[in-house]
Amino acid sequence: MNTDIDEDIFEYLYSHLNPKRLEHSYNVANLAVSLAERNDVNALNAWLAGLLHDCAKSMTDKELIKFLKNRKKKFKYFKEVSIKSPHLLHSFAGEIIAREYFKIKNETVLKAIKNHTLGRENMSILERLIFVADSISHDRKWKYAGTLRELAKEDLNKAFFEVLAEKISYVIRDAGWLCPQTIDTWNWYVSNFKKDS
């Protein structure tokens, strides 16, 4: 894809992300476009959200907390995330950079960036699509990435459940801190969507 603001975005990403993260962002954007076309989602929105989803990834934990506090952008569980797993804040900071620096106005794109780490209740298709693409882009080498990449092409809903379940199991197996927002996301989906439908 090629849009008017691509040049600005690539320039920004080149100077802010390491080569591995840059490649990941490009892969997520490409996968997002291909999944968008299969799911009646605007491809340009998918491209922009994919490219920008990790634009704040190079900020340190301290910088992320300060950045969000300065803009009074606190959200449910902000305090808990800031203490236990501040790197997760990069999705929230990324949304602000997309809005302020790149002047992205499309709320669906902004929400897809913002919620790609923890998810939320009742996500739009684009939000779920970016959430999935982020975990199974071609640079991802974890055990089920390839299988889920195939599944996502057939059924985004099933792939979303699997990716979310894998993310949760990974944290549990690693004896890590599981953000309550991720649990809220899971509980909302099992209560409102059928896992196998």
- Rule CB under 5 A: which residues touch Fe ion? 54, 134
Interacting residues of 132 by C-beta distance below 8 A, sequence separation 6+: 35, 148, 152, 156, 159, 160, 163
CA angle (146 as vertex; 144, 150 as ends), nearest 5: 110
Query: Which one, 54 or 162, has the nearer CB to Fe ion?
Result: 54
Please state the closest distance from residue 21 (CB atom) to Fe ion, in A.
8
Do residues 77 and 179 lie in contact, with contact meaning Cβ atoms separated by under 8 Å?
A: yes
Least distance from C-beta 88 to Fe ion, angstroms? Answer: 8
CB of 191: closest distance to Fe ion in angstroms? 26
Nearer to Fe ion, 101 or 193 (CB): 101
Q: How far is the CB of 25 from Fe ion (least distance, A)?
A: 7
Contact in structure between 181 and 160 (CB atoms under 8 Å) = no
Terminal Cα-to-Cα distance of the chain (whole angstroms) = 32
State the Cα–Cα distance between residues 160 and 167, nearest whole angstrom.
11
Q: Smallest distance from the beta carbon of 54 to Fe ion, in angstroms?
A: 4
Is 23 or 155 the residue whose CB approaches Fe ion more closely?
23
Nearer to Fe ion, 90 or 125 (CB): 90
Find out whether 135 and 149 touch, Cβ atoms under 8 Å. Answer: no
Instruction: Give the separation between CA 65 and CA 44, rounded to whole angstroms.
Output: 30
Question: How many other CB atoms sit within 10 Å of the CB of residue 127?
Answer: 22
Q: Which amino acid belongs to residue 112?
A: A
Q: How far is the CB of 112 from Fe ion (least distance, A)?
A: 11
